[in-house]
Amino acid sequence: LVAVSDSSASDRGAAAFVVRLSAVKTRFLFQLTGVLDDCFCDVESIDVFNNFKIYPRIKKLTEKDYFRYYKVNLKRPCPFWPDDGHCAIKDCHVEPCPEVRGHYSQAANTMSDMVECEQAKELGAINSTLSNQSKEAFADWARHDDAQDHFCELDDETSPDAEYVDLLLNPERYTGYKGPSAWRVWNSIYEENCFKPRSVYRPLNPLSPSRGLCLEKRVFYRLISGLHSSINIHLCAEYLLDEGWGRSVWGPNVQEFRQRFDMAKTKGEGTRRLKNLYFLYLIELRALYKVAPYFERAFINLYTGNGQEDGATKELLLQIFNEIKAFPMHFDEKSMFAGNKIEAKTLKEEFRLHFKNISRIMDCVGCSKCRLWGKLQTQGLGTALKVLFSEREIQNLPEHSPSKGFQLTRQEIVALLNAFGRLSTSIHQLHNFRLLLKDHR
């Protein structure tokens, strides 16, 4: 990628990228082109915009101190079923269409598999290393946040078990864990979070393959499917390739990627899954566009106690907002959240409850790192929806003082930008897999 400060070089690089993108089309991803369902944005435009305008900046932003530390409670028990996780060192992914696997071989009880189980636990464990300086800073951050005019309280922030985690020390990648909770979690998310039937069917696109579904259920499914696809891409891109001689090596696993998304291996579902990733990207991109005025106010700062660093962090964030504003093909959320005031309020509450429920389901993931990133990205998506439902409140914000009409906590801000950063990374990694697939033909 070119330097983000050189816009002309970036434009030239983007033009060359389009040429290369056309040159590396494979049978596998050939259908991942053109206009997305339910909106008027094409895949190629998103690829160029993300990989050259957004990804370099969002990657740099999420490495800043304000965004690298996330406060989370990883000790909450699963509220839906007992912890019966099973360790396995292979195939660390979540199944898009879960199948009940009620039987395990007797070999699962052998000493060899016990060793693998311990290795998997070690890979999935949270690195809780924090400097004394960081711990002191967190107390200062809490005092600063407590003085702000918050919109709401978050359970994880007030829990005595909630702790700050350094996201840079705990990257989202293959962990070696694959237990019953993996498919149970996604089965619960897909099957148990249905919206109540609505009297009015409002199609986004009359030709949509999911035309028989109500608007709310279809949108909800596409958002969760997009999140699911993004997580699978991260695991495929950061797969454990070697752990010999006391040194673990992670990198892209093309075979695992094809297993998740190849048209032939997924019975034609691979392209749809990836298009849902792009749909989710546009939804969160639109939320950032809408929330920009909240951060553009002069008195809003991304506080860590280091004035120079805080200023640089906010400047970088505003650069990202400027790039987002210049994007010409934003998703029109009004088609999704249409309706009278009473209906819109009801829909907002339904979405809020669904994503709160998904966050609770994430507490059932047996792998700590998977749970961490699942909770963060779920909260990020929930925050994006909160923004989209709060357009009027954001427009009415006072310029020089806080307002009870709309407020974001530090936790929500960190989750929102990191969740979008994960989507940006997924789309960037898709191009890398295109190149690798070309070499594997």
Q: What residues form the annotated binding site?
A: 173, 175, 186, 225, 228, 260
Task: Quote the strand ranges of 51-178, DSSP E.
Answer: 69-72, 163-166
The H or E element that residue 251 is part of is strand 249-251
Q: Which of 41, 78, 117, 370 is catalytic?
A: 370
| Pick from 103, 106, 92, 233: nearest CA to 174 | 92
Half-sphere exposure for 63 (CA within 13 Å, toward CB):
6
CA atoms of 308 and 395, how far apart (whole Å): 29
SS3 166: strand
- Is 236 assigned a catalytic role? no
CA atoms of 108 and 104, how far apart (whole Å): 7
Contacts 24+ apart (CB under 8 A), 215-221: 215/336, 216/347, 216/350, 216/351, 219/336, 220/193, 220/195, 220/351, 220/354, 221/190
Q: Which of 39, 78, 236, 367 is catalytic?
A: 367
Q: Which residues contact 240 (CB under 8 A, 6 or more apart)?
A: 92, 123, 173, 174, 176, 248, 249, 250
Q: Are 184 and 364 in contact (CB under 8 A)?
A: yes
CA dihedral 113, 239, 257, 427 (to 10 degrees): 150
CA distances from 32 to 29, 279, 329, 420 (A): 5, 13, 18, 21
Annotated binding site for FAD: 173, 175, 186, 225, 228, 260
CA atoms of 275 and 283, how far apart (whole Å): 13
- Is 367 assigned a catalytic role? yes
CA atoms of 372 and 325, how far apart (whole Å): 31
CA atoms of 426 and 233, how far apart (whole Å): 6
Amino acid, single-letter form, for residue 294: Y
Active site residue ranges: 367, 370
